[in-house]
Amino acid sequence: MAIDRIDKTLDNNCMENILEIKNLNLFFGEYQALYDINLVLKKGEIHAIVGESGCGKTMTAMSILRLLPKSAEIKSGEIFFNNENLLTFSEKQMRTLRGNRICLIPQDPMTSLDPLYTIGNQLIESIRTHSSVSMHQAERKALEVMDLVKIPDAKNKLNFYPHEFSGGMKQRIIIAMALSTNSELIIADEPTTALDVTIQKQIMDLIDEIKNEFGTSVLLISHDLALVSNYADSISVMYAGHIVEEAPSADFFKYPRHPYSIALLNSLPTRNPALKLNTIQGTPPAIQENITGCKFHPRCEYCKPEICATNIPILKEKSFKHYSACLIK
Protein backbone atom coordinates (compact mmCIF):
# COMPACT_ATOMS: atom_id res chain seq x y z
CA MET A 1 0.00 0.00 0.00
CA ALA A 2 1.39 3.42 -0.96
CA ILE A 3 1.97 5.97 1.76
CA ASP A 4 -0.34 8.95 1.56
CA ARG A 5 1.51 12.22 1.22
CA ILE A 6 0.60 15.26 3.24
CA ASP A 7 1.52 18.91 2.89
CA LYS A 8 1.99 19.83 6.53
CA THR A 9 3.64 23.23 6.25
CA LEU A 10 2.69 25.10 9.40
CA ASP A 11 0.46 28.12 9.11
CA ASN A 12 3.14 30.69 9.81
CA ASN A 13 4.72 32.95 7.22
CA CYS A 14 7.22 30.88 5.22
CA MET A 15 9.83 33.62 5.66
CA GLU A 16 9.94 32.70 9.36
CA ASN A 17 11.03 29.17 8.49
CA ILE A 18 14.74 28.58 8.05
CA LEU A 19 14.28 24.91 7.15
CA GLU A 20 11.43 23.01 5.50
CA ILE A 21 11.64 19.35 4.53
CA LYS A 22 8.81 18.19 2.29
CA ASN A 23 7.92 14.57 1.48
CA LEU A 24 11.52 13.33 1.69
CA ASN A 25 12.03 9.68 0.66
CA LEU A 26 15.45 8.06 1.06
CA PHE A 27 16.46 4.60 -0.16
CA PHE A 28 19.41 2.25 0.21
CA GLY A 29 19.06 0.21 -2.95
CA GLU A 30 15.63 -1.42 -2.85
CA TYR A 31 15.13 -0.68 0.86
CA GLN A 32 13.47 2.50 2.03
CA ALA A 33 15.01 4.30 5.01
CA LEU A 34 12.96 7.51 5.21
CA TYR A 35 9.26 7.76 4.39
CA ASP A 36 7.73 11.09 3.36
CA ILE A 37 9.52 13.14 6.00
CA ASN A 38 7.90 16.55 6.59
CA LEU A 39 9.56 18.94 9.03
CA VAL A 40 9.60 22.68 9.69
CA LEU A 41 12.17 24.58 11.75
CA LYS A 42 11.46 28.23 12.56
CA LYS A 43 14.22 30.81 12.71
CA GLY A 44 15.77 31.18 16.15
CA GLU A 45 14.23 28.01 17.57
CA ILE A 46 15.37 24.53 18.60
CA HIS A 47 13.54 21.65 16.96
CA ALA A 48 14.38 18.19 18.29
CA ILE A 49 14.14 14.89 16.44
CA VAL A 50 13.91 12.06 18.96
CA GLY A 51 13.63 8.28 18.88
CA GLU A 52 15.63 5.11 19.42
CA SER A 53 18.85 4.39 17.54
CA GLY A 54 18.20 3.31 13.97
CA CYS A 55 14.95 5.23 13.54
CA GLY A 56 16.28 7.61 10.86
CA LYS A 57 17.22 10.70 12.86
CA THR A 58 20.81 11.00 11.63
CA MET A 59 19.87 10.07 8.05
CA THR A 60 17.40 12.97 8.07
CA ALA A 61 20.13 15.34 9.27
CA MET A 62 22.69 14.06 6.76
CA SER A 63 20.13 14.46 3.97
CA ILE A 64 20.02 18.18 4.71
CA LEU A 65 23.81 18.44 4.41
CA ARG A 66 23.92 16.02 1.46
CA LEU A 67 26.52 13.96 3.34
CA LEU A 68 24.93 10.57 2.73
CA PRO A 69 26.67 7.25 2.06
CA LYS A 70 27.24 6.49 -1.63
CA SER A 71 24.65 3.73 -1.47
CA ALA A 72 21.93 6.17 -0.31
CA GLU A 73 19.62 7.88 -2.78
CA ILE A 74 17.02 10.58 -2.23
CA LYS A 75 14.33 9.51 -4.68
CA SER A 76 11.85 12.31 -4.03
CA GLY A 77 11.18 15.30 -1.85
CA GLU A 78 12.46 18.81 -1.25
CA ILE A 79 14.69 20.40 1.40
CA PHE A 80 14.35 24.19 1.61
CA PHE A 81 16.92 26.25 3.48
CA ASN A 82 15.92 29.93 3.51
CA ASN A 83 13.53 29.11 0.64
CA GLU A 84 16.25 27.54 -1.54
CA ASN A 85 15.91 23.85 -2.41
CA LEU A 86 19.19 22.23 -1.35
CA LEU A 87 18.47 19.18 -3.50
CA THR A 88 19.00 21.35 -6.59
CA PHE A 89 22.41 22.62 -5.39
CA SER A 90 25.61 21.48 -7.04
CA GLU A 91 28.29 19.84 -4.89
CA LYS A 92 30.31 23.06 -5.16
CA GLN A 93 27.39 25.07 -3.79
CA MET A 94 26.93 22.57 -0.96
CA ARG A 95 30.62 22.82 -0.01
CA THR A 96 30.19 26.59 0.30
CA LEU A 97 27.11 26.09 2.47
CA ARG A 98 28.49 23.40 4.81
CA GLY A 99 30.43 24.74 7.75
CA ASN A 100 29.48 28.26 6.75
CA ARG A 101 25.72 28.86 6.79
CA ILE A 102 24.93 25.36 8.10
CA CYS A 103 27.22 23.78 10.66
CA LEU A 104 27.28 20.25 12.07
CA ILE A 105 28.07 19.38 15.67
CA PRO A 106 28.80 15.65 15.28
CA GLN A 107 28.05 12.83 17.71
CA ASP A 108 31.52 12.09 19.00
CA PRO A 109 33.70 15.03 20.09
CA MET A 110 36.54 12.58 20.83
CA THR A 111 37.12 11.81 17.14
CA SER A 112 35.88 14.98 15.44
CA LEU A 113 39.12 16.94 15.70
CA ASP A 114 42.39 16.13 13.90
CA PRO A 115 44.85 14.83 16.51
CA LEU A 116 47.86 16.02 14.48
CA TYR A 117 47.03 19.73 14.54
CA THR A 118 46.59 22.20 17.38
CA ILE A 119 43.19 23.61 18.24
CA GLY A 120 44.40 26.98 16.98
CA ASN A 121 45.42 25.52 13.61
CA GLN A 122 42.00 23.93 13.16
CA LEU A 123 39.95 26.94 14.28
CA ILE A 124 41.94 29.38 12.18
CA GLU A 125 41.77 27.11 9.13
CA SER A 126 37.98 26.88 9.52
CA ILE A 127 37.66 30.66 9.77
CA ARG A 128 39.90 31.38 6.76
CA THR A 129 38.19 28.71 4.66
CA HIS A 130 34.86 30.48 5.00
CA SER A 131 35.94 34.13 5.00
CA SER A 132 38.58 36.34 3.39
CA VAL A 133 40.54 37.42 6.44
CA SER A 134 44.20 37.64 7.33
CA MET A 135 45.93 35.20 9.67
CA HIS A 136 45.93 37.86 12.40
CA GLN A 137 42.20 38.54 11.98
CA ALA A 138 41.47 34.81 12.01
CA GLU A 139 43.45 34.33 15.22
CA ARG A 140 41.58 37.20 16.85
CA LYS A 141 38.26 35.69 15.76
CA ALA A 142 39.35 32.30 17.13
CA LEU A 143 40.04 33.85 20.53
CA GLU A 144 36.67 35.62 20.48
CA VAL A 145 34.69 32.43 19.84
CA MET A 146 36.73 30.47 22.39
CA ASP A 147 35.78 33.13 24.95
CA LEU A 148 32.14 32.85 23.87
CA VAL A 149 32.11 29.11 24.55
CA LYS A 150 33.77 29.71 27.94
CA ILE A 151 37.15 28.09 27.32
CA PRO A 152 39.50 29.57 29.95
CA ASP A 153 42.93 30.94 29.06
CA ALA A 154 41.99 30.90 25.37
CA LYS A 155 45.23 32.38 24.04
CA ASN A 156 47.29 29.65 25.64
CA LYS A 157 44.79 26.92 24.69
CA LEU A 158 45.19 27.74 20.98
CA ASN A 159 48.48 25.85 21.16
CA PHE A 160 46.96 22.73 22.72
CA TYR A 161 46.34 19.51 20.80
CA PRO A 162 42.93 17.76 21.00
CA HIS A 163 44.21 15.04 23.34
CA GLU A 164 44.96 17.75 25.91
CA PHE A 165 41.26 18.62 26.18
CA SER A 166 38.45 16.79 27.97
CA GLY A 167 35.44 15.58 25.99
CA GLY A 168 33.38 18.56 27.11
CA MET A 169 36.10 21.01 26.07
CA LYS A 170 36.44 19.32 22.68
CA GLN A 171 32.70 19.75 22.15
CA ARG A 172 33.06 23.43 23.05
CA ILE A 173 35.79 23.77 20.39
CA ILE A 174 33.45 22.26 17.78
CA ILE A 175 30.70 24.68 18.83
CA ALA A 176 33.25 27.52 18.59
CA MET A 177 33.89 26.50 14.97
CA ALA A 178 30.17 26.88 14.29
CA LEU A 179 30.16 30.35 15.87
CA SER A 180 33.29 31.41 13.98
CA THR A 181 31.44 31.25 10.65
CA ASN A 182 28.20 32.85 11.91
CA SER A 183 26.16 29.80 10.95
CA GLU A 184 22.43 30.38 10.57
CA LEU A 185 21.60 26.74 11.29
CA ILE A 186 23.37 24.32 13.62
CA ILE A 187 22.64 20.62 13.26
CA ALA A 188 23.54 19.07 16.61
CA ASP A 189 23.66 15.30 16.21
CA GLU A 190 23.66 13.76 19.71
CA PRO A 191 25.94 16.59 20.91
CA THR A 192 26.20 15.24 24.46
CA THR A 193 27.12 11.63 23.62
CA ALA A 194 29.90 10.23 25.86
CA LEU A 195 29.77 13.23 28.20
CA ASP A 196 28.82 12.98 31.86
CA VAL A 197 25.53 14.51 32.99
CA THR A 198 26.96 17.74 34.40
CA ILE A 199 28.90 18.40 31.18
CA GLN A 200 25.81 17.51 29.12
CA LYS A 201 23.91 20.33 30.81
CA GLN A 202 26.76 22.77 30.28
CA ILE A 203 26.90 21.96 26.55
CA MET A 204 23.12 22.23 26.11
CA ASP A 205 23.04 25.49 28.12
CA LEU A 206 25.73 26.81 25.79
CA ILE A 207 23.76 25.84 22.66
CA ASP A 208 20.67 27.48 24.17
CA GLU A 209 22.61 30.66 24.93
CA ILE A 210 23.85 30.78 21.32
CA LYS A 211 20.29 30.39 20.07
CA ASN A 212 19.06 33.23 22.28
CA GLU A 213 21.99 35.61 21.74
CA PHE A 214 22.55 35.19 18.00
CA GLY A 215 19.14 33.98 16.79
CA THR A 216 20.76 30.78 15.53
CA SER A 217 18.37 27.95 14.63
CA VAL A 218 19.16 24.47 15.95
CA LEU A 219 18.10 21.06 14.72
CA LEU A 220 18.79 18.80 17.70
CA ILE A 221 19.09 15.04 17.15
CA SER A 222 18.74 13.07 20.38
CA HIS A 223 17.43 9.95 22.05
CA ASP A 224 17.44 11.66 25.45
CA LEU A 225 13.91 12.93 26.07
CA ALA A 226 14.75 14.19 29.56
CA LEU A 227 17.45 16.44 28.11
CA VAL A 228 15.32 17.54 25.15
CA SER A 229 12.43 18.57 27.42
CA ASN A 230 14.49 21.43 28.85
CA TYR A 231 15.61 22.97 25.56
CA ALA A 232 13.47 22.16 22.52
CA ASP A 233 10.74 24.50 21.27
CA SER A 234 9.18 21.75 19.16
CA ILE A 235 9.65 18.01 18.69
CA SER A 236 9.37 15.35 15.99
CA VAL A 237 9.31 11.69 17.08
CA MET A 238 10.74 9.21 14.56
CA TYR A 239 10.19 5.49 14.33
CA ALA A 240 11.41 3.18 11.54
CA GLY A 241 11.95 6.04 9.11
CA HIS A 242 8.59 7.72 9.80
CA ILE A 243 7.72 10.82 11.78
CA VAL A 244 4.97 9.49 14.03
CA GLU A 245 4.34 12.58 16.15
CA GLU A 246 5.10 16.28 15.97
CA ALA A 247 4.15 18.98 18.45
CA PRO A 248 5.26 22.04 20.40
CA SER A 249 7.51 20.78 23.19
CA ALA A 250 5.29 21.80 26.12
CA ASP A 251 2.23 20.16 24.57
CA PHE A 252 4.15 17.00 23.67
CA PHE A 253 5.43 16.34 27.18
CA LYS A 254 2.05 17.13 28.75
CA TYR A 255 -0.15 15.28 26.25
CA PRO A 256 1.81 12.73 24.17
CA ARG A 257 -0.45 11.24 21.51
CA HIS A 258 1.32 8.38 19.75
CA PRO A 259 1.76 5.03 21.55
CA TYR A 260 5.48 5.09 20.74
CA SER A 261 5.88 8.54 22.31
CA ILE A 262 3.94 7.41 25.38
CA ALA A 263 6.15 4.32 25.68
CA LEU A 264 9.33 6.41 25.37
CA LEU A 265 8.19 8.81 28.06
CA ASN A 266 7.10 5.97 30.35
CA SER A 267 10.56 4.42 30.05
CA LEU A 268 12.29 7.47 31.54
CA PRO A 269 13.85 6.75 34.94
CA THR A 270 12.41 8.45 38.01
CA ARG A 271 13.85 9.36 41.39
CA ASN A 272 11.38 7.07 43.15
CA PRO A 273 13.17 3.75 43.82
CA ALA A 274 9.79 2.05 44.39
CA LEU A 275 8.76 2.60 40.79
CA LYS A 276 9.81 -0.08 38.32
CA LEU A 277 11.62 1.09 35.18
CA ASN A 278 9.36 0.50 32.17
CA THR A 279 10.79 -0.76 28.89
CA ILE A 280 9.48 -1.08 25.35
CA GLN A 281 9.39 -4.72 24.37
CA GLY A 282 11.28 -5.69 21.22
CA THR A 283 13.51 -3.52 19.05
CA PRO A 284 13.02 -1.15 16.12
CA PRO A 285 12.80 -3.05 12.82
CA ALA A 286 15.79 -3.34 10.50
CA ILE A 287 15.47 -1.58 7.17
CA GLN A 288 15.11 -4.96 5.43
CA GLU A 289 12.12 -6.06 7.52
CA ASN A 290 8.80 -6.00 5.70
CA ILE A 291 6.24 -4.96 8.30
CA THR A 292 2.78 -4.39 6.92
CA GLY A 293 0.56 -1.66 8.28
CA CYS A 294 1.87 0.47 11.14
CA LYS A 295 5.60 -0.14 11.66
CA PHE A 296 5.16 0.11 15.43
CA HIS A 297 2.26 -2.33 15.77
CA PRO A 298 4.38 -5.41 16.75
CA ARG A 299 5.56 -3.51 19.87
CA CYS A 300 2.42 -1.46 20.61
CA GLU A 301 0.33 -2.15 23.70
CA TYR A 302 -2.69 -0.48 22.07
CA CYS A 303 -2.46 -2.55 18.88
CA LYS A 304 -5.58 -3.93 17.22
CA PRO A 305 -4.08 -6.33 14.64
CA GLU A 306 -7.10 -6.31 12.34
CA ILE A 307 -6.61 -2.55 11.93
CA CYS A 308 -2.96 -1.83 12.69
CA ALA A 309 -1.38 -4.69 10.71
CA THR A 310 -3.18 -3.85 7.48
CA ASN A 311 -3.42 -0.04 7.34
CA ILE A 312 -0.69 2.60 7.21
CA PRO A 313 -1.37 5.59 9.51
CA ILE A 314 -0.64 9.13 8.38
CA LEU A 315 0.04 12.23 10.44
CA LYS A 316 -3.17 13.99 11.39
CA GLU A 317 -3.72 17.07 13.51
CA LYS A 318 -5.12 15.89 16.85
CA SER A 319 -5.05 19.31 18.49
CA PHE A 320 -3.62 22.70 17.52
CA LYS A 321 -0.24 22.07 15.81
CA HIS A 322 -0.07 18.62 17.42
CA TYR A 323 0.16 15.82 14.86
CA SER A 324 0.12 12.07 15.40
CA ALA A 325 0.09 9.03 13.12
CA CYS A 326 -2.00 6.41 14.90
CA LEU A 327 -5.11 4.49 13.84
CA ILE A 328 -6.27 3.78 17.39
CA LYS A 329 -5.51 6.76 19.68
Q: What is the pLDDT of residue 4?
A: 34
Q: How many whole angstroms separate alpha carbon 329 and alpha carbon 53?
A: 25
- Residue 2 scores a pLDDT above 50: no
Instruction: Tell which wins on pLDDT, 290 or 329.
Output: 290
- Residue 5 scores a pLDDT above 60: no
> Do the beta carbons of residue 72 and residue 51 sit within 8 Å?
no
Q: At what angle do helices 119-130 and 135-148 cross, to 10 degrees?
A: 110
Q: SS3 of 58, please?
A: helix
Highest mean pLDDT among 167-181, 269-283, 286-300: 286-300
- Residue 231 scores a pLDDT above 70: yes
41-85 residue pLDDT tens: 999 999 999 999 999 999 999 999 999 999 999 999 999 999 999
Q: What is the pLDDT of residue 55?
A: 95
Instruction: Tell which wins on pLDDT, 106 or 236.
Output: 236
- Residue 199 scores a pLDDT above 90: no
Q: How many whole angstroms separate alpha carbon 203 and alpha carbon 215?
A: 17
Cα–Cα distances in Å, from 248 out to 175, 256, 302? 26, 11, 24
Query: 27 has which bridge partners?
Result: 32, 73
- Residue 11 scores a pLDDT above 70: no
Q: What is the pLDDT of residue 15?
A: 52
Average pLDDT over residues 146-165: 92
- Say how many Å lie between the first and final Cα of the chain, rounded: 22
- Of 116-130, 191-205, 281-295, the range with the lowest mean pLDDT is 191-205
Average pLDDT over residues 207-233: 93
Average pLDDT over residues 320-326: 95
Q: How many whole angstroms separate alpha carbon 302 and alpha carbon 87?
A: 39
Residue 328, CB-side half-sphere exposure with 13 Å CA sphere? 18
Q: What is the pLDDT of residue 109?
A: 66
Q: Where are the domains of the chain?
A: 14-101+183-324, 115-182
Average pLDDT over residues 298-321: 94
Average pLDDT over residues 120-145: 89
> Do the beta carbons of residue 119 and residue 158 sit within 8 Å?
yes
- pLDDT bin (cut points 50, 70, 90) of residue 12 is very low
Q: How many whole angstroms separate alpha carbon 239 and alpha carbon 293?
A: 13
User: By percentage, how much of the chain surpasses pLDDT 90?
Assistant: 68
Domain 14-101+183-324 CATH class label = alpha beta
Q: What is the pLDDT of residue 307?
A: 95
Instruction: Tell which wins on pLDDT, 8 or 19.
Output: 19
- Residue 7 scores a pLDDT above 60: no
Cα dihedral across residues 148, 151, 154, 160: positive or negative: negative
Q: How many whole angstroms separate alpha carbon 151 and alpha carbon 169?
A: 7
